[in-house]
Amino acid sequence: MNRKISLAISTCPNDTFAFHGIIEKKIDLQSLDFEIQLLDIQQLNDGLFHQRFDVAKASFHAAAILADQTKVLPSGSALGFGVGPLLLSASTGMAINGSAERPYRVLCPGEHTTATMLFRIFYADAIESNRVVIEQKLFSDIMPALQNGEADFGVCIHEGRFTWQDQGLGCVEDLGTRWEEDTSAPLPLGGILVSQALVDSSPQTVAKIQNAIQSSIKYAQANPDEALITMRKYAQEFDDDVLMQHVQLYVNDWTVDLGEVGRSALAMLSKRAKHAGIVNDATPEISVVKFPLKKH
Q: What secondary structure does DSSP assign to 269-284, as a single string?
A: HHHHHHHTTSS-TTSP
Is the pLDDT score of 2 beyond 70? no
Q: What is the CATH number of domain 3-79+188-275?
A: 3.40.190.10
d(CA 81, CA 100): 33
d(CA 196, CA 189): 21
Summarised one tens digit per residue, pLDDT across range 59-91 is 999 999 999 999 999 999 999 898 889 999 988
Q: What is the pLDDT, as a whole number, of residue 293?
A: 73
Q: What is the pLDDT, as a whole number, of residue 110?
A: 85
- Asked if the domains at 3-79+188-275 and 86-183 fall in one CATH topology, the answer is yes
* 200 in Cβ contact with 194 (< 8 Å): no
Q: Which of 20, 61, 158, 246 is catalytic?
A: 158
Q: What is the pLDDT, as a whole number, of residue 283?
A: 92
When pLDDT is cut at 50, 70 and 90, the band that residue 26 belongs to is very high
- Asked about 275 being catalytic, the answer comes back as no
When pLDDT is cut at 50, 70 and 90, the band that residue 243 belongs to is confident
* Residues sharing a CB contact under 8 Å with residue 143, sequence separation 6 or more, in sequence order: 88, 154, 156, 160, 163, 164, 167, 169
Length of the chain: 296
**Mean pLDDT, rounded, for 252-270:** 95
**Mean pLDDT, rounded, for 281-294:** 88
Question: How would you classify the pairing of strands 32-39 and 3-10?
Answer: parallel
Query: Among 73-87, 159-173, 180-194, whose mean pLDDT is lowest?
Result: 159-173
Query: Among 53-57, 101-105, 250-254, whose mean pLDDT is lowest?
Result: 101-105
d(CA 46, CA 158): 19
Q: What is the pLDDT, as a whole number, of residue 77?
A: 96
Is the pLDDT score of 292 beyond 70? yes
Helix (H) or strand (E) holding 135: strand 132-136
For residue 292, say if its preceding peptide bond is cis, omega within 30 degrees of 0: yes
d(CA 23, CA 32): 12
Summarised one tens digit per residue, pLDDT across range 114-134 is 899 999 999 988 998 889 999
Q: What is the pLDDT, as a whole number, of residue 294?
A: 64
**Mean pLDDT, rounded, for 187-201:** 94
d(CA 278, CA 66): 12
Superfamily of domain 86-183: Periplasmic binding protein-like II (3.40.190.10)
d(CA 126, CA 246): 31
Domains in the chain: boundaries: 3-79+188-275, 86-183
Is the pLDDT score of 164 beyond 80? no
